[in-house]
Chain A
Amino acid sequence: MTDGLQTMLGAPDSHAAAAARRFATRAASSWSADLAYAMLASPLGDLLLVAGRCGLVVLHYTDARTDLDAELERLAARRSPRIVESVAALDPWRRELDEYFAGRRTRFDAPLDWSDIRGFRRRVLSATARIPYGAARSYGEVATAAGSPRAARAAGNALGSNPLPIVIPCHRVRHAGGGLGGYTGGIERKAVLLEIESQQRG
């Protein structure tokens, strides 16, 4: 008897998952949580988007579930563990990215959180953010725009640690000789982004 009673008391309840989703959505919209995240399916694969009160904190290429977990754990340790999942909270960035991938958007207006990007890296990424849609710059040109003309290689490293690829368009930076150079998400993704920007449909 006791066993039957225990089994019944312990049976899962489908309402629980819905209540948990309602909680996460509310915690994100009221910013009781410090960070909210959501996934976005894109031509480049699944993207993890993470935002806080001040704007988008991370855009991350996730090739596997483990990438997602590792990135969220890194943010929990580095910024705050108060992280919840909310598609609604990431809506402004998801919408702009969808439009960008469809060739209908040439600049991003939803806010970015620059607070974790400092020093030389900040100067390099700020210079990169100003490269127009469809244009290209060399590593040396970006280093010059960042105020350190001789630091092309260091600029390349700073671009390699861009926490906000696509929206800070490091894919528009390539070798002076015309080679694509490197890319955080892999060179294939860089080529897809350049392809999108060469076929913009207005």
Chain B
Amino acid sequence: MDALPPFQRALETHGDAVWRYLRGMVGAQAAEDCFQETFLSALRAYPRLHSYSNVRAWLLTIAHRKAIDHTRRARRELPLDAAPDPIAPPAPERNEQIWGAVAELPPRQRAAVLLRFAVDLPHRDVAAAIGCSEEAARRSLHEGMKRLREVVG
């Protein structure tokens, strides 16, 4: 087994992907807490990681669990008709519209779309992060993109 590089490198190289994924999953406000929890869990487990080569997919798998935990907690804490977390619009109207549409996707479709396109994971790693078959991941991705196109044209 090759020695692992300093954890700081994983943070610097993949922090942006983890952030974008979480922002899409739980909204900009909750993303901060999920981000901190993701990297704290990752830091604790890091010395036991077998290979650094797929550290990106590993971090996103952890981020996915944190996002799902957050979504479950939020659902328990909020009244049923409460709006989802506001998604911070990166800039103009059209972006707002797309992030709004992403926020309204069912969690698994949202995760698949973000992991594939916001973070650029291959289908195999998308499936591993979500914890389903590659076939199911492709289906969720397809459904999610179809909905997004309906909303944003």
Determine if B16 and A17 form an interchain contact, defined as CB atoms under 8 angstroms apart: yes
Interface residues as binary, B18-46 with A (CB distance below 8 Å gives 1, 0 otherwise): 11100110001001100110011001101
- Once the chains are docked, how many angstroms separate the CA of A84 from the CA of B12? 10
B3 adjacent to chain A (CB < 8 Å)? yes
Residue numbers in B under 8 Å from A82 (CB-CB): 7, 43, 46-47
B76 within 8 A of A: no
B90 touches A76 (CB 8 A): no
Is B153 located at the chain interface by the 8 A CB criterion? yes
B117 touches A19 (CB 8 A): no
Of the candidates A11, A15, A17, the one having the most CB atoms from chain B within 10 angstroms of its own CB is A15
List A residues 62-76 near B (Cβ within 8 Å). Answer: 72-73, 75-76
A8 to chain B, nearest CB (A): 6
Cα of A170 to Cα of B24 in the assembled complex, Å: 54
Number of interface residues of B (CB under 8 A): 42
Do A13 and B6 touch across chains, with their CB atoms under 8 A apart? Answer: no
In the complex, A24→B6 CA distance in Å? 12
**B102 — which chain A residues lie within 8 A by C-beta?**
9
The A contact surface, by secondary structure, is helix
A12 within 8 A of B: yes
Name which of A25-33, A111-119, A154-162, A184-192 contacts chain B: A25-33
Q: When the two chains form the complex, which single residue of A5, A6, A32 contacts B40, counting CB atoms closer than 8 Å?
A: A32
Q: Does A16 contact B (CB under 8 A)?
A: yes
Contact with A along B58-102 (1 / 0, CB 8 A): 000000000000000000000000000000001000110010001
A37–B8 Cα distance when bound, in Å, is 10
> Number of contacting residues on A, CB 8 A?
34
For the complex, give the distance between the alpha carbons of A190 and B137 in Å: 61
Within A1-57, which residues are at the interface with B (CB < 8 Å)?
Answer: 1-2, 5-6, 8-13, 15-17, 19-20, 22-24, 26-27, 32-33, 37
Q: How far is the CB of B45 from chain A (nearest CB, A)?
A: 10
Q: How far is the CB of B21 from chain A (nearest CB, A)?
A: 10
Asked whether A85 lies within 8 Å of B16 as measured between CB atoms, the reply is no
- Known A-B contacts A15-B19, A76-B3; A5 and B8 likewise in contact (beta carbons under 8 Å): no
A77 at the interface (CB under 8 A from B): yes
Seen from chain B, the residues whose Cβ lies within 8 Å of a Cβ on chain A are 3-8, 11-12, 15-16, 18-20, 23-24, 28, 31-32, 35-36, 39-40, 43-44, 46-47, 90, 94-95, 98, 102, 113-114, 117-120, 145, 148-149, 152-153
Chain A to chain B contacts (Cβ below 8 Å), 10 pairs: A2-B145, A10-B20, A13-B20, A19-B32, A19-B35, A20-B15, A23-B11, A23-B36, A81-B3, A83-B6
> Using a CB–CB distance below 8 Å, which chain A residues touch chain B?
1-2, 5-6, 8-13, 15-17, 19-20, 22-24, 26-27, 32-33, 37, 72-73, 75-77, 80-85
Q: Which 5 A-B residue pairs are closest in the complex by CB-CB distance?
A: A16-B19, A83-B6, A77-B3, A20-B15, A81-B4
